[in-house]
Structure 1
């Protein structure tokens, strides 16, 4: 192509070249008012079509997953004659399939598109939640929860993967924080909502109304999602041609892969061999374990402090509210300090200390207060590690695998977390508190290890570039080469 002509807007290929200016410098194109206006319009429209409905579906997915804990206080164990550790196994059975269906679900999303796949799995798990109201035995509840895990497994990694096609890596960060805050927001409303639903007078048990009504709401949201979602910017119905071109150009400049890049099954093993991917997953696992135990056993822990069941349902909203506020605030953490590992280390260190206090003191009021503080401290780490991963992982296949594996480990946390607060530890549940304390110590250590590695790797790449090892010829890389090199490409620098 002649030098005086440029490729069509939005169609440039990323180039294998080192930046010739500081990353925070703006080009003349970035300052162009027309382009700026188009990008603002692009982001506003994408946000309105993706975020509200995704937030609400995740809100109810967390409620649907954890309302088994509210059903326990509403009399389900007595009605179904559950005993011993049967309730714990009902809780954990969900995660037996949840942990294995993350990657297959992302592959199906890639093949069918988010507009079809996400509503389909949402309706499927909602129908199964309603089926829990009809279950008459321990075995039936386990079977339904196992099937629920198959479908709900795909929602969170599917949303993370979907965002990678619409936003730059920096733009994804605050949106992931907002998305994950829906989980804490669900914790605020789950207890009071369940307390109200279990009081409905009719021919069913109170816990059955919890399952049926919450499932019906989620089905309605799935239908709305099918109407408003689009798969990719290239095919978005709600964008003008100019907005689409400006958005695609922005994504190309960020080295974000386009929707045309294929998902490459042969590269899955290569992605799984990267130890840093497992580091993110371990942090997500340990963070999710604290959140899962709070969501499922929060009402039980509060009831064990001496509160009657309906009151405990309502009081369980307070620790969740503390977590929700801090999780929303975590959207702005990178603006205060642009590194992710220090924030994760601070939050995990505080959570570790707070759980140690809960496990060691006798006072009910002190334990409840530190339960609120612990929930606030552990809540930012899931969105923070997801942001961190989205900043560092490149390539369609690797990004999809990373999102799936990370959330898969979140499922493992639910499987284990269902058994750390044991009935034989009533009323103090000291073992569970110590276990979550140890998980937060592990987060601190893994975040430190990743930080040290990324800083070393960045210095190594800088040295190679300074020695002239990287050949910069200005030639465009093909999509195949971009996909094969992912974040190992020499012009990429890790955020630590």
Structure 2
């Protein structure tokens, strides 16, 4: 049997949450990386022709050979920590700002609703719900194509271009004169934003180990809460603008302008991959990739793999990922578009309603931070159980909104529903860490976010105008959806545990042998990689 043990104690420990001590490492570490610092190295495959310069570049055989050489040695943990801090400073703030704009962008219609857009555009009874859902029709239509395009083009540039269109389309919505014009722009905006979540997850998976991904995803996802709080502040400030333009138009113009400006910064300064970037020396880039050796999920390849695509469509977890995205976002589709109207229905005026979103956002950020800290402290094997646990307060919160008496208990229940954001953070790390193969990962990512889009389409239609301002049917429907989400999580857990036990038994019985050094550098699916183990 070969390759059944990790090559490096550093990587082995990192799979346990990076809990290693430098003084405990007894073997000689690779402090001298001067051999890797070669100016004449060609680290990327070249693509001929004019269009080739715009495509994602695969790591060259020369670069992968040097990664393999480095994988045969033990990395210096002090050096790794220094490089990881540099990666954190470069990637996490950028993704956090992106996600903050992403959420503020999606909730502009909700603030527009309390600023009078329904009256100004003469929206009919169901037309506001349609505007909420049409955004995700565009998302659904573009979800699979955009995931495939992310495999073809540099992630940073492709994401920046899409964010640019978010801003332009958002500003254009301020010029809408009727339902039809706004509906078309909402569909196009949804298509542009279909790139966001899967791009953020793929960028995180590119730069971080599987053990680090829940924490790092949590860091940028916390910006969701800050985005909600910032949206409340923006709404409060915009509500005080004295102008001939109504406040809802300023909401679209200001947020759209900020998104557009940020996209330019992202395009210029954030790197696309560790294989080729001026932010890191060549030895540092090799360390970034080599430290992921135990993930069995390192290779980044722009080539379409038909067998992986087929495997993705027949793998049951692809459909469970879809259901996870769906059940998680039926409530999101409702609360992100009707949340301000629900809170206003508790007895707050327009400006008070915008301010009530600030503690909601702060609570979301706090719960996400708490969840990723608990996940960091827990031993391996408890992530899915933590996901289920973080969703319980959300179910209770919707129950309080539906049946509690008085303004305070119902408002507290609304705030409690934000706990589900921690569930989704941990779920995204399952997606990035539990699917092997670039093409299969694109299929699985599309499945999750098709579920996200479908849930957001369905959610608003549970909120009936005839039940305003309490929206009893919608609130109860959100509660049931969150309960079903817990069931989906537990089914995924059982599937991952069963697969891991089956593979471990095959190794123990001598029916399977593999070299985990070789498999770590191959673009192999999780089904075909015998060294792959699922995170549970």
Task: Flag the 1:475–1:355 CA change in 2: closer, same or farther, 3 A.
Answer: closer
Per the TM alignment, residue 292 of structure 1 is displaced from its structure 2 partner at its CA by: 3.9
Q: Is the 8 A contact 1:76 1:207 kept in 2?
A: yes
1:9 is matched with none
2:531 is matched with 491
Partners of 1:475 and 1:168 lie apart in 2 by: 16
Which segments of 5 or more consecutive residues in structure 2 lack a partner in the other structure?
15-19, 33-75
Q: Is the 8 A contact 2:296 2:516 kept in 1?
A: no
Task: Flag the 1:429–1:249 CA change in 2: closer, same or farther, 3 A.
Answer: same
Instruction: Return the match for 1:341 from 368, 371, 384.
Output: 384
CA deviations on 1:173-227 (whole Å, 9 max, x unpaired) are 2111112222222111212211211322223111111100111111111011012
SS at 1:418 equivalent: helix
Per the TM alignment, residue 30 of structure 1 is displaced from its structure 2 partner at its CA by: 8.7
Instruction: Return the match for 1:419 from 461, 468, 475.
Output: 461
2:3 is matched with 17
Instruction: Return the match for 1:62 from 81, 103, 112.
Output: 103
Q: TM-score, normalised by structure 2?
A: 0.84
Instruction: Return the match for 2:303 from 247, 252, 262.
Output: 262
Q: Is the 8 A contact 2:138 2:187 kept in 1?
A: yes
Partners of 2:304 and 2:2 lie apart in 1 by: 21
Task: Flag the 1:174–1:463 CA change in 2: closer, same or farther, 3 A.
Answer: same
Q: Is the 8 A contact 1:132 1:141 kept in 2?
A: yes
Q: Is the 8 A contact 2:401 2:475 kept in 1?
A: yes
Task: Flag the 1:128–1:43 CA change in 2: closer, same or farther, 3 A.
Answer: same
Q: Is the 8 A contact 2:321 2:447 kept in 1?
A: no
Per the TM alignment, residue 385 of structure 1 is displaced from its structure 2 partner at its CA by: 0.6
CA deviations on 1:79-128 (whole Å, 9 max, x unpaired) are 11112111110111100010232231122223221232111111112101
Partners of 1:208 and 1:474 lie apart in 2 by: 57
CA deviations on 1:341-399 (whole Å, 9 max, x unpaired) are 11121122332233223212232221111222222x32211101111222222221222
- 1:368 corresponds to 2:411: yes
1:434 is matched with 476
| Structural mapping, 1:275-294, within 5 Å | 275-294=316-335
Q: Is the 8 A contact 1:16 1:491 kept in 2?
A: no
Task: Flag the 1:281–1:449 CA change in 2: closer, same or farther, 3 A.
Answer: same
How many residues are aligned here?
479
Q: Is the 8 A contact 1:257 1:396 kept in 2?
A: no
Task: Flag the 1:328–1:472 CA change in 2: closer, same or farther, 3 A.
Answer: closer
Task: Flag the 1:475–1:55 CA change in 2: closer, same or farther, 3 A.
Answer: closer
Per the TM alignment, residue 437 of structure 1 is displaced from its structure 2 partner at its CA by: 0.9
Task: Flag the 1:30–1:216 CA change in 2: closer, same or farther, 3 A.
Answer: farther
SS at 1:99 equivalent: helix
- 1:46 corresponds to 2:87: yes
- 1:131 corresponds to 2:117: no
Which segments of 5 or more consecutive residues in structure 1 lack a partner in the other structure?
1-14
Return 77-86 or 335-344, whichever deviates more.
Answer: 335-344
SS at 1:77 equivalent: helix
Partners of 1:29 and 1:44 lie apart in 2 by: 24
Instruction: Return the match for 1:403 from 426, 445, 449.
Output: 445
CA deviations on 1:402-425 (whole Å, 9 max, x unpaired) are 223212211112111122222111
Instruction: Return the match for 2:133 from 92, 99, 121.
Output: 92
Return 37-46 or 59-68, whichever deviates more.
Answer: 37-46
